[in-house]
A and B are shown apart, each in its own frame.
Chain A
């Protein structure tokens, strides 16, 4: 039924005596039953998919980018299909924070799944104000700062493409909340690792990548861009190799967990991101095509783990990324040293090389 070849390869039953794989992960302090999240902007506030997706089966729901006040979004047309993907220029249409707190969050809380709020603003101060107002709100597991939307004039990509501005924005949010802070990065930069390092220094607990790539489609009969705004953000399987490469690179560059996304269609694709160094993944455009995708991906990751003898998700993270694995080994060494120090040992150990 799916028109894109899928499947994590032949399922092999775990060898006798081996337990079923444990899919749970903890990312930035958020405990999730599995590593599969929804990508912001592709799942609304969850309710749109009620009846089509059992939210309890997800690792976390990341809601649509939300601002202090309602945003109207961009003029239509806002979307167009492209090869193995689509362009969107929604422009962060959203009903605003008050609506989220009044209508959407109470409903989401009742679903029994961690909720991560994707935050957008026109200025760094608005991002900080969002963080302040969401701090301590029951039912909010973490914030995800969207500094990477390509479809708005102010905010979004304008922050994420400049390491200094990105760092200042994250610092402001960091001071305004004690919630775990995830920062969603744009691929529309020369060196994503440089931006990644700066926002981690500024206080990010985890990074999400990638947001969409800037793209354009032209109607050759009308001789003008299809999207009213001209450009849009490209998503879908077309961008997956770009996303995998960026996750691979950023996972080597920072010490915090990376959440990988970009064109994931099936469990095999999700495993690619995990092996590249992502601690969790998010599914986006695939859900539009087939609402059954996210939960099927959970099953397919489990089948891959069983087939290959991995008991925990973190056992696979970064296995295809030697630079990441070396870095993790050093980090684990440093943590052990730290623990020994805490126990009162006089011994001086080499520390983190960051």
Chain B
């Protein structure tokens, strides 16, 4: 209706590479319409091929009748010029194992971009971007946009207020600080797409096991200092485990700055029809949908109680 309806079709896989010894995977899809429409924070819904070597070498063959539903994946990078969309995901179950087995030249059935609430623009303010674990997936696209890099020419209004990053001249940030962490140093490869912004942005890494070149501890341990230096005008963006998001919110509230959190929930349709991916929010109605209203929400509206500190 408004020219921004999601696209449904086949995208050819042009690259597939293991990340961190195959515990994660990076896939590049050729999907020009998705690449053109995508906003940071949005996702694609991917049909997992059954049986295509899924689970090979893991434990056993596919469980019967699975994977059944599509799997939502954050758009990690989108390049309208080449028409490519990059996904970065953890190889965890039957669905992601089957996707990891797809080879360049094969096609995937995808719907996207989806997500009525992308990351909003920074409006010229200093940005602090926080990612934990596989939650770093959507951040390269966000950081690129905050740095004024290639992005879509237009965008929809963000559902809960503000406008999507890349939606106007105000998308870019005055400065960008990236804080990214993984639990174990052996997964540091996951942060490589963010390390590439070194020079254009300040990038700091954390690992729980104190791997060389990183700060030992949770990534949120770096946030207090970053917020201090970014100043009261700062806007925080975060994606990661619930406990990390809860910590980000607490620190942002304490610093009195705006924060936007990308959350996930089990999802069936991805377009708002099934009402499956509800997250609890403050206010009435008490739930909002990750696919239709998010996946990015203003920290102040989210009710993260169940996910507070582990």
Contacts and interface: CB of A to CB of B under 8 A. Distances in A.
Interface of A: 1, 3-4, 41-44, 48-52, 64, 70, 72-86, 88, 90, 93, 236-238, 285, 287-292
Contacts of B8: 52, 291-292
Contacts of B67: 3, 81
A1 B109 contact: yes
Interface string B259-285: 000000111111111111111100011
From A50, A76, A287, residue with most partner B Cβ within 10 Å: A76
B69 interface: yes
A290 B47 contact: yes
Contacts of B51: 3
Interface pairs A-B: 9 shortest CB-CB: A51-B5, A84-B65, A83-B65, A79-B276, A44-B273, A3-B50, A48-B273, A48-B272, A288-B269
Given A50-B5, A73-B287, A83-B64, A289 B69 contact: yes
Interface of A is mostly: loop
B233 to A, nearest CB: 34
B66 interface: yes
Contacts of A86: 68-69, 268
Contacts of A1: 10, 47, 107, 109
Given A3-B48, A48-B271, A290 B276 contact: no
B266 A77 contact: yes
13 contacts: A48-B292, A50-B5, A64-B273, A76-B265, A88-B276, A90-B275, A93-B285, A287-B269, A288-B69, A288-B270, A288-B273, A289-B68, A291-B271
A83 B64 CA distance: 6
Contacts, number: 128
A90 B276 contact: yes
B52 to A, nearest CB: 9
Interface residues on B, range: 35 or more
Interface in B32-82: 47-51, 63-70
B106 to A, nearest CB: 11
A170 to B, nearest CB: 26
A238 B268 CA distance: 16
From A49, A85, A288, residue with most partner B Cβ within 10 Å: A288
Given A43-B273, A81-B69, A83-B64, A72 B286 contact: yes
Contact of B68 (A72, A78, A85, A93): A85
B273 A49 contact: yes
Contacts of A76: 265-266, 277-280, 287
A159 to B, nearest CB: 22
A81 B284 CA distance: 29
Nearest to B65: A84
Contact of B285 (A42, A70, A290): A70
B63 A83 contact: yes
A73 B278 contact: yes
A1 B5 CA distance: 22
A83 B68 contact: yes
Given A51-B6, A52-B6, A75-B278, 18 more contacts: A1-B109, A4-B50, A42-B269, A42-B273, A44-B272, A49-B273, A64-B273, A70-B285, A72-B285, A73-B278, A78-B266, A81-B266, A82-B68, A90-B276, A288-B69, A288-B268, A288-B270, A289-B68
